[in-house]
């Protein structure tokens, strides 16, 4: 196992779509071992292959007692909403922002041996899963920053009546 370099948003690898994994070999197993170790060392809850410079559909999440290795993952069910702050090991913490995510998801993926599985995830684990799947599409979380809905305007805005009439 080895700690891998975590690429930052200065690198274009983070903005590219990844390719499906077709070979479930020792190299893939090694990648997962390294990604888990790298994520733990960096105190993260998830890591996707582009963050270690590889354009492959592979990602890990580790939230509390849930640890998942996901190959070619897709979300097959999503329910509810949660709005909370998000950050990323590849992005400066000053860019942390709120992101709207589903409260619950079911992810379908393959494990490192090519066995297909489904897993239901909630709360933080659902958030981490969505965040990592976005990485596999070349999307960073802040591109999805949640904007608070504007409060209804109650004040009467003084306008030039002539201008208004012409609209």
Q: Which are the catalytic amino acids?
A: 132
Question: Among the candidate windows 8-16, 27-35, 80-88, 156-164, which touches Zn ion by CB under 5 A?
Answer: 80-88
What is the CA 156 to chain-centroid distance, rounded? 42
Q: Which is nearer to Zn ion, 71 or 133 (CB)?
A: 133
Distance (Å, rounded) from C-alpha 92 to C-alpha 103?
25
In the complex, minimum distance from the CB of residue 79 to Zn ion, in angstroms, rounded to a whole number: 23
Residue with tokens 């922002």: 97
| Total of chain residues touching Zn ion, rule CB under 5 A | 1
Does 35 participate in binding Zn ion (rule CB under 5 A)?
Answer: no
Using only C-alpha atoms, the chain has a radius of gyration, in whole angstroms, of 20
Q: Which is nearer to Zn ion, 68 or 88 (CB)?
A: 88
Q: Which is nearer to Zn ion, 88 or 107 (CB)?
A: 88
Distance (Å, rounded) from C-alpha 89 to C-alpha 45?
9
Closest C-alpha to 69, from 51, 85, 57: 57
In the complex, minimum distance from the CB of residue 20 to Zn ion, in angstroms, rounded to a whole number: 20
Q: Which is nearer to Zn ion, 24 or 142 (CB)?
A: 142
What is the helix, strand, coil percentage profile of the chain, to 5?
30, 30, 40
Residues 88-107 touching Zn ion, rule: CB under 5 A, are 88
Question: Among the candidate windows 15-23, 59-67, 83-91, 114-122, which touches Zn ion by CB under 5 A?
Answer: 83-91
Distance (Å, rounded) from C-alpha 92 to C-alpha 4?
18
Residue with tokens 């993926």: 109
Question: Among the candidate windows 63-71, 85-93, 97-105, 146-154, which touches Zn ion by CB under 5 A?
Answer: 85-93
What is the CA 153 to chain-centroid distance, rounded? 34
Q: Which residue is nearest to Zn ion (CB)?
A: 88
Q: Which residues bind Zn ion (CB under 5 A)?
A: 88
């Amino acid at each position: 196992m080895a700690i891998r370099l975590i690429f930052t948003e200065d690198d274009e690898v983070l903005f590219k779509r990844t390719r499906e994994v077709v070979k479930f070999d020792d190299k893939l197993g090694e990648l997962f071992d390294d990604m888990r170790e790298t994520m733990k060392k960096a105190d993260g809850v998830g890591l996707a292959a582009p963050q270690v410079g590889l354009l492959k559909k592979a990602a890990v999440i580790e939230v509390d007692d849930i640890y998942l290795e996901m190959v070619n993952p897709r979300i097959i069910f999503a329910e509810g909403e949660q709005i909370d702050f998000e950050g990323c090991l590849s992005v400066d913490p000053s860019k942390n922002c709120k992101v709207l995510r589903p409260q619950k998801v079911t992810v379908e993926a393959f494990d490192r041996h090519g066995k297909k599985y489904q897993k239901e995830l909630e709360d933080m684990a659902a958030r981490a899963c969505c965040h990592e799947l976005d990485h596999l599409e070349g999307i960073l979380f802040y591109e999805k920053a949640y904007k608070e809905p504007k409060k209804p305007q109650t004040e009467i805005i003084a306008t030039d009546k002539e201008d208004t009439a012409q609209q």
